[in-house]
Amino acid sequence: MRQNKLHMKKRLIRFTYVPGATMNEHITSFNNLVMDLMSIDETFKDEDLALLLLGSLPEELKFLETSLLYGRDALSFSEVCAALYDYELRKKNKQRNSNGEVEAAVKGCSQSLSKGRKGRSNSKYKLAKNECAFCHEVGHWKKDCSKLK
């Protein structure tokens, strides 16, 4: 029994994030190791569990560890879990939004190209004589443009 307990502790201490796993899967695996140890009368401080979980994160998430630890004297396991879930949610939303933004940018780019000179900055385009600076039609000035009024 003693050797089993030491082996389980070693697994918890060496526990690391599996690439491609969700934060929920990672936290669940971590909790399972902790629960197995608690079932054989091992006890843990909440703060120690928080630090072990932070230590199991990949290098790309070390900024999260730094931001959670900076200027603090204490940290709870639930705070770390909440931060990890929040990070994953923001990452998923960012991916969804960036896919939509790329589509919108491509659509907007093709629309602005089809408009011709409309949409171009006045500073990059020299106006012809009698050309309106607002609608780019020849025959009137910007101050007299009916589309501006």
| Contact status, residue 79 vs residue 68, Cβ threshold 8 Å | yes
The pTM (predicted TM-score) of the whole model is 0.62
| Structural domains in the chain (count) | 2
Give the model's pLDDT for residue 124.
52
Find the helix or strand (DSSP H, E) in which 54 lies.
Answer: helix 46-55
Write out the residue range of the structural domain in which residue 126 sits.
Answer: 120-149
Residues 41 and 99 in one domain: yes
Give the model's pLDDT for residue 3.
63
d(CA 26, CA 149): 61
Strand, coil or helix: 16: coil
Residues 33 and 67 in one domain: yes
Render each residue's pLDDT in the chain as its tens digit; 149 residues: 566 889 999 999 999 999 999 999 999 999 999 999 999 999 999 999 999 999 999 999 999 999 999 988 999 999 999 999 999 999 899 888 877 655 554 554 445 445 554 554 545 557 777 788 777 788 887 788 887 76
